[in-house]
Amino acid sequence: MSYKTEDAIDEEKPDVSVSGTGRNDALAWAAPSRSTADYRALDAAHHIHPFSDMGSLNRAGSRVIVKARGVYLSDSDGNRIIDGMAGLWCVNVGYGRKELADAAYRQMRELPYYNTFFRTTHPPVIELSALLAELTPQPFTHFFYCNSGSEGNDTVLRIVHQYWAAQRKPRKFVIARKNAYHGSTIAGATLGGMAYMHEQMPSKVENIVHIDQPYFFGEAASDQTPEEFALARAQQLEAKILDLGADNVAAFIGEPFQGAGGVIFPAATYWPEIQRICRKYEVLLVADEVIGGFGRTGEWFAHQYFGFEPDLITLAKGLTSGYVPMGAVGLHDRVARALIGNGDFNHGFTYSGHPVAAAVALANLKLLRDERIVERVKADTGPYFQRKLRQTFAGHPIVGEISGAGLVAGVQLAEEPLRRKRFANGGDVGAMCRDFCFNGNLIMRASDDRMLLSPPLVISRLEIDEIVSKAKTAIDATARELGAL
Ligand SMILES: *Cc1c(COP(=O)(O)O)cnc(C)c1O
């Protein structure tokens, strides 16, 4: 099969300022048009940031990021910062890839927008769907598009209920997990079991219930093995299904590994048991692959890493490497067949399958495939990163565990690592460590008392060394501040 979209367009040289492959060029720094102080004042005066306390942020002043190449960011003061988070887990191919800028430019010239509502379609969305069908594991045949992971999970709810309605067997409940993250729309936040997101407003989406998460370090009994604990947590699903009524549960949704919740990797016993239970009660199994998808674990999709087969997958982030917004839901052939030919699917967005986003996604996926980036994560940089982290923090006085695979990792900060005793003020300790990272020009995120890393998948061994050594410096500084080193 061939992808002809680009050939069909005249080969006029695009006039875009992104240059080089982005991997190896030095991060040239052109002075931005305003001073940092001016940027900060205007930002404080007019911009509300996501998930932020604007009062304290405005007092401290935001960091102004002006440029990026490869795995490095540059701020308005000319500091070079290594991005250990690939933006928000999304810039899988790294910053500054000309191929993606060219694809967007060409598509904007050719067809900047058209919808896919009223019996119309267009080449980029057709090519993207065909390529996704090829890159996803066997049974995923159909794709629905949206603009984000949150909208993807809203879409999942619509599909799940339509699936059961189409069979004249409506089922009411969807089961999710505490400390999950499924986005910030009302449905996304209801699915995600992050309590602080619910406290803000009284309304939620109805009929969504939660079971406990497979967070061994924080929640296992002292005599449980990781395997026993994960199995027990999976079996909560069966208990919950029986509690709600076996033919009243439409779906279960989970991130193969929890991302924002702390890069929590369940033991190998977890997902096979979840899958067994879903099959037994015919509950649809949804994998939220928004972070895990497109190579993060060294497999194309995280459910392949954990060895299970979902009925639906939510995609976003790495789908376009964050260059433009796009999300999608992948449907198992069985689900697609139930949906197709059963009347209208009453759901869609103005920008569903947006041609520019689709063209960028297509260029991005071709890079991941043709440069064998995922294979390199699996065979080389992933194992190197995991080994390096584990060696560096072995026996560290405030590091309780390293979780992760491929190019994603969580570092658990703990008061007594060997006894799995967490800090009473873990959130403050994490924030302190994050500030040390920030000042050391490393982007490393804190989720409560876990420090998270998820760098661009094109990162080199040398750059991994830099991240790990900067993380060590910050975690050592945190330990010293706490009197533990
Ligand atoms: C980021 C994320 C989402 C939400 O995606 P948005 O594009 O921010 O709406 C959903 N699920 C998971 C697992 C995520 O990490």
Q: Which of 156, 2, 112, 141 is nearest to 358 (CA)?
A: 112
CA distances from 340 to 159, 331, 334, 345, 366 (A): 11, 11, 10, 9, 29
Atom of ligand 1 nearest to the CA of 325: 7
From the CA of 291, give the closest atom in ligand 1.
Answer: 15
Q: Mean per-residue pLDDT for 199-205?
A: 81
What is the rounded distance in angstroms from the CA atom of residue 433 to the CA atom of residue 475? 6
Answer yes or no: do 156 and 277 share one domain. yes
What mean pLDDT is predicted for residues 121-142?
97
Residues 62-70: what's their mean pLDDT? 96
Instruction: Name the residue of 150, 155, 157 whose CB sits within 8 Å of the most ligand 1 atoms, as the mutation to test its pocket.
Output: 150
Is 116 in the same domain as 65?
no
Residue nearest to ligand 1 atom 14, measured at CA:
290
Q: Per this entry, what is the length of the chain? A: 485
Q: How confident is the model at residue 17 (pLDDT cuts 50, 70, 90)?
A: very low
Average pLDDT over residues 52-73: 95
Please say which residue of 343, 370, 397 terminates a domain. 370
Over residues 135-148, the pLDDT tens digits come to 999 889 999 999 99
Same-domain check for residues 301 and 325: yes
Q: Is residue 103 part of a domain?
A: no
pLDDT above 90 (res 32): no
State whether 64 and 119 are in the same domain: no
The pLDDT-based confidence of 29 (bands split at 50, 70, 90) is low
| Domain termination residue (choose one: 314, 336, 370) | 370
Q: How far is the CA of 187 from the centre of ligand 1 (A)?
A: 12
In this structure, what CATH number is given to the domain that contains residue 69?
A: 3.90.1150.10
Which residues have any ligand 1 atom within 6 Å of their CB? 148-150, 153, 181-183, 255, 259-260, 288, 290-291, 316, 327
Domain assignment of residue 214, given as a range: 111-370
Strands in 48-153 per DSSP E: 65-69, 72-75, 80-83, 140-146
Which CATH number does the domain housing residue 321 bear? 3.40.640.10
How far away, in angstroms, is 92 Cα from ligand 1 center?
15
List pLDDT tens digits, range 212-254.
999 999 999 999 999 999 999 999 999 999 999 999 999 999 9
**pLDDT tens per residue, range 393-406:** 999 999 999 999 99
CA of 318 to the centre of ligand 1 (A): 11
Q: Is residue 102 part of a domain?
A: no
Residue 389 CA to residue 402 CA, distance in Å, equals: 7
Which of 338, 370, 402 finishes a domain? 370
